[in-house]
Structure 1
Amino acid sequence: IRDLGGEAVANGADVADWGQAEALVQQAIAEFGRLDAVVNNAGFVRDRMFVSCSENEWDAVIRVHLKGHFCVARHAASYWRGLVKAGEQVDARIINTSSGAGVLGSVGQSSYSAAKAGIATLTLVQAAELGRYGITSNALCPIARTRMTEGAFGDAMKAPDEGFDENDPANVSPFVAWLASSQSRDVTGRVWEVFGGTVTVFDGYRREQTMDIGKRWDAAELGPAVNELLSKAQPLVKVYGT
């Protein structure tokens, strides 16, 4: 970053540690004079089929992804709210990293899928609660070649010998930069996917089919009712790996 003329500082904090996450935010403010955006991107995987996932593996993945996103954004939001209460105008961004695994599920990645689904929903709540302070929150589901995905997908992520490299992580960067800019101030509470030259907005859970009988259901009535609802519902989207 410095070689390209930018400014940057390194921080090796554990983002899932409350105190270290606070120190990270305070370091950014001290170094640059203010904080405009947070990009939560820390993560790793412990791929296991659900029946083989250990408690320690589950806890580790949830801790880094979900708690890590919470800790950093929580301290940043507290800083921004303090500015608003002091009479300043805030135009700030939280950019979270979810995954298609969190939106659709992924076989062999129950802990990762659950953590990323939690991040997507956390994003919706952040957007609803923090908008009053001038803070937007969006989640990004990137598809790109990283140390983590190379280990999971191997040759599928290799760069081609020629032509457009759709897995180049640089393809995701412009969208992150746009989300962090003032141009995105009216966009919040959305979950996005960026892959190669494609940008997609996800349509989250919506009530699709409803049946109301105006009284408590009897268990014997539910089978036919459920079958009728499902006959009108859209087919399930396939989980990755099925």
Structure 2
Amino acid sequence: MPEGHVIHRLAERLATTFGDRQLEFSSPQGRFAEEAARLNGHRIELAEAWGKQLFIDVDHDDPEHIVHIHLGLIGGLRFTPYAAPTGQVRLRITDGITAADLRGPQWCRLITDADRDAAVAKLGADPLRPDADPEPTWTRVHRSGKSIGALMMDQKLFAGVGNIYRAEVLFRLGLDPRTPGKNLARSEFDAIWADLVDLMATGVRDGRIDTVRPEHTPEAMHRQPREDDHGGEVYVYRRAAQPCHVCGTPVESTVLEGRNLFWCPRCQR
């Protein structure tokens, strides 16, 4: 599932690509045809991300004027030069020059302002939003007996954080992912938040997740670059049984609440 930086990049791309242009909305697949027809010919007023959810606010006087998208595990929103659509395109947005095609989302629906507010109210603080307030997240983490590894995957606490950022931030800070939230010091929570803000902003800028420090890059360590569908240089994510870049200890993995968890047993005691 795409992590939050991907959704923020998509929101930025929608704004910069289509600006204040009159747009064609359609549903070549047909499953969003009625909703797309209502939006056709209008402009995008605002595209914004909250965690892993994308909201496209269309300049329309219809109460239902916001396209709410969650890509889920297999969804994608891809920008290409305008051409006839191919495959199962749920929603196409185009200005006749560029087309943004949505395929396979977990959901794509037309909602009201009140619906959007209700959806956002369920989410935790998003490290990529300048209006994010991590204080309520700290309060809930500090009271919880669940592991910080589990808590960081809870979208009601850390909106937009996924498996990669969870594993990598905890490694970078030397924190055992199995540590109960109530055992974290405030300084440790603040360090987690600050590292998420920094790394995820870099992900938005570069379009990939890179978490290794300069001294641990392939060039610095004279090692082969990582080969993985997710791309980017990481410390522990999907590196089970491989040597830690810092201490050489084999990276361990287990399943935590249905998701694979990776950590170094020496660096993260």
TM range (shorter): under 0.3
TM-score, normalized by length of structure 1?
A: 0.26
Structure with greater strand share of residues = 2
Q: Which has the higher contact order (CA 8 A, sep 6+)?
A: 1
Structure with greater helix share of residues = 1
